[in-house]
């Protein structure tokens, strides 16, 4: 609901399909959470597409984000046929489109198998619908109007308001209503392990400690020049 809380109030596990939440991010007007097996949930204001749910609607409760290679399109878990987002039944095989719930399964299963079980379909149908195994969210960060996600494979994804190039897609105006992968070449193909979202800028950290920043800054080129100058001074002192 939209009632304010004066003290911390626990969200029921049922809000996340019974899964254990292992990471949460709080933005200015929306929130994200990652569950044990890498499922991504979002709720709050969505007017700039920052929830990644392929619309600009608000969500009063955590909503499972179906994202990755297959985007946010609904699909039949039985045959993998892509459907409209509002579909309740598959126009290809007549099967019912399952509701978005997420339940923890045996850890011995692979992630695609776990996700296929909660979708009540086969691993092969799920992979067909996504165009590959669904991405496994490692962590997420959000600000006022955009959201970043890092996957276990080391990729960075973003959605929401595109102003000031804070989404990292080499544009300045386009909002992204679904999560879009930031091209690996922008990080020299390094594996990303963490990300942070500011009001008008973003940052990502690689597994080897390299820090990348993008978005609005009063003088971003000068900031990087000063960083380079400091590094040179430190090298001179060491030598």
The pLDDT tens digits for 60-73 are 988 888 766 444 44
| Spatial separation of the C-alpha atoms in residues 59 and 231, rounded to whole Å | 46
- Give the SS3 label for residue 15: helix
Average pLDDT value for residue range 3-31:
87
pLDDT one-digit tens code per residue, 33-87 = 998 878 888 999 999 999 998 899 999 988 888 766 444 444 455 554 545 555 5
- CB-based contact 132:69 (threshold 8 Å): yes
pLDDT digits (tens, 9 = 90+) for 2-16: 788 888 989 887 788
pTM comes to 0.70
Q: DSSP character for 147?
A: E
Token duo for residue 141? 């960060």
**Range 107-130 average pLDDT:** 47
| CA nearest neighbour of 11 among 63, 49, 54, 56 | 63
Distance CA(58)–CA(229), nearest Å, equals 45
């Amino acid at each position: 609901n939209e009632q304010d809380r004066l003290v911390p109030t626990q969200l029921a596990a049922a809000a996340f399909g019974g899964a254990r939440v292992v990471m949460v991010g709080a933005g200015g007007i929306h929130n994200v959470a990652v569950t044990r097996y890498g499922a991504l949930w979002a709720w709050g204001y969505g007017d700039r597409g920052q929830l990644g749910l392929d619309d600009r609607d608000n969500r009063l409760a955590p909503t499972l984000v179906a994202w990755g290679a297959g985007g946010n399109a609904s699909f039949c878990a039985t045959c993998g046929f892509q459907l409209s987002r509002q579909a309740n039944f598959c126009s290809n095989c007549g099967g019912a489109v399952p509701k978005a719930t997420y339940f923890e399964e045996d850890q011995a299963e692979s992630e695609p198998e776990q996700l296929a079980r909660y979708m009540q379909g086969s691993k092969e149908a799920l992979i067909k619908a996504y165009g590959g195994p669904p991405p496994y969210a490692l962590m997420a960060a959000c600000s006022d109007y955009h959201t970043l996600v890092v996957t276990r494979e080391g990729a960075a994804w973003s959605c929401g308001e595109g102003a000031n190039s804070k989404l990292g897609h080499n544009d300045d105006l386009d909002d992204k209503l679904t999560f879009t992968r930031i091209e690996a070449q922008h990080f020299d193909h390094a594996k990303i392990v963490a990300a942070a979202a500011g009001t008008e800028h973003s940052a990502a950290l690689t597994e080897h400690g390299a820090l990348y920043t993008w978005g609005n800054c009063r003088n971003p080129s000068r900031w990087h020049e000063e960083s380079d100058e400091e590094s040179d001074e430190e090298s001179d002192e060491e030598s």
